[in-house]
Amino acid sequence: MIMTARTTRGREKTAINASRSQIKTSDLDIKAVFHPEDLRGYIFIEGSEQAIRDLASEVRNINGVIDEEVNVSEIEKYLDEEEEDITLEVGDKVEVISGPFKGEEAKIDRVDEGNREVTIELLDAAVPIPTTVDIDSVRKKANQ
């Protein structure tokens, strides 16, 4: 079952990241959470109805669930058939795209695929301190 959740406008990615964290720490029957770039204020969640409602009540930027089930044909235009496979490796230079270090450049020291985390070292820091962040909060620099 796929349902639509209302979110705070502009906080869709924050809601998705918080949802992923909640799904990791609890045993919710959620298969996927996604947000089409051109649809503001809404995200789509696939899973059991009760798990979706439980998730919506736990995540701060989710303001409720629309009671109607969404058919895949209705959201098909938002789904990419081609999956982009970008791998992060130790030594890669990245840009932090969310969190307290947003906009900073960093170098990857360690990649933990299982927990979807990377340990980074900020390049402009006076004292290099390894910091662990969510893998989705960094973007690989194109010109390495």
Domain boundaries, the chain: 2-78, 93-140
- Average pLDDT of the chain is 87
Q: Do domains 2-78 and 93-140 have the same CATH topology?
A: no
The residue-averaged pLDDT of 124-129 equals 88
CATH of 93-140, one of 3.20.190.10, 3.30.70.2500, 2.60.40.2700, 2.30.30.30: 2.30.30.30
For residue range 39-93, what is the model confidence (pLDDT) as tens digits? 889 999 999 999 999 999 999 889 999 988 888 888 877 776 555 556 888 999 9
> Predicted confidence band at 114 (pLDDT cuts at 50, 70, 90)?
confident
Tell me the C-alpha distance between 108 and 138, whole Å.
Answer: 10
DSSP bridge partners of 65:
5
> Predicted confidence band at 109 (pLDDT cuts at 50, 70, 90)?
very high
The residue-averaged pLDDT of 5-28 equals 89
The residue-averaged pLDDT of 137-144 equals 78
Residue 106 makes CB contacts below 8 A (sequence gap 6+) with 93, 94, 95, 96, 120, 121, 122, 123, 131, 138
Tell me the C-alpha distance between 131 and 108, whole Å.
Answer: 10
Percentage of the chain exceeding pLDDT 90: 41
Q: Contact, 135 vs 115, CB < 8 A?
A: no
Q: What is the per-residue pLDDT for 44?
A: 93
What is the pTM assigned to this prediction?
0.56
Q: What is the per-residue pLDDT for 76?
A: 79
CATH of 2-78, one of 2.40.160.20, 1.10.3720.10, 3.40.630.30, 3.30.70.940: 3.30.70.940
3-state SS assignment for residue 88 = coil
Q: Shortest CA distance to 123 belongs to which of 138, 106, 137, 110?
A: 106
Q: What is the per-residue pLDDT for 85?
A: 58
